[in-house]
Amino acid sequence: MQSKLKQNILTLIKQKDLSARKLERDAGLHKNYIANFLHDKSKNPGIESIIKIASVFGVSVDELIGRESSSKNYDLAIARKDIFFEVVSYLSKAYEARQNDGLKLENFFNAIYEVYMFSLKKDSFDKEFADWFVDSHS
């Protein structure tokens, strides 16, 4: 994962015309965090850092770490209907409140998927993550 993550970060830095320092600032990371990772001076970044980096680039965590093709596969069984329907209900209201006229269906489905999968790991709906996700991907 590390080499694919590094490769993807380097590619996205070039595509977005960012410096490592600008990425660190935009992601709220410590100075030299990205540079140290890219030059093998630090261990793999934690999930919180990966989430922040993905957010700056506007990609999913899966895309950033290289676990996903360009189209997401939403064809999975819903293990926890209670969490799933809470996520859908909450995100529907959150996006409606923002009156985002340019909301794309793919972005809405991606939000449902990401928040649901994150909440599954916590075994309950994570409202803070949902709010963060909507705010950072709007």
pLDDT tens sequence across 23-64: 999 999 999 999 898 888 887 788 888 999 988 988 888 888
Enumerate helices (H) and strands (E) in the chain, giving the number of each: 8, 0
Confidence of residue 2 (pLDDT cuts 50, 70, 90): low
What percent of the chain has pLDDT above 90?
A: 31
Q: Rounded distance, CA 30 to CA 121, Å? A: 27
| Residue that wins the pLDDT comparison between 69 and 138 | 138
Is 50 within 8 Å of 21 (Cβ atoms)?
no
| Residue that wins the pLDDT comparison between 90 and 2 | 90
pTM: 0.50
- Taking alpha carbons only, the member of 57, 49, 55 closest to residue 18 is 57
Q: Rounded distance, CA 109 to CA 87, Å? A: 11
Task: Work out the number of other CB atoms within 10 angstroms of the CB of residue 65.
Answer: 21
What single-letter amino acid sits at 59?
V
Q: How long a stretch of residues is the chain?
A: 138
pLDDT at position 41 is: 87
Reported as half-sphere exposure (CB side, CA atoms, 13 A), residue 19 has a value of 5
Confidence of residue 1 (pLDDT cuts 50, 70, 90): very low
The mean predicted confidence, pLDDT, of the chain is: 84
pLDDT at position 137 is: 77
Instruction: Enumerate the domain spans of the chain.
Output: 2-65, 81-136
Under DSSP, the state recorded for 71 is S
Is 87 within 8 Å of 125 (Cβ atoms)?
yes
Q: What would the CATH number be for the domain defined by 2-65?
A: 1.10.260.40
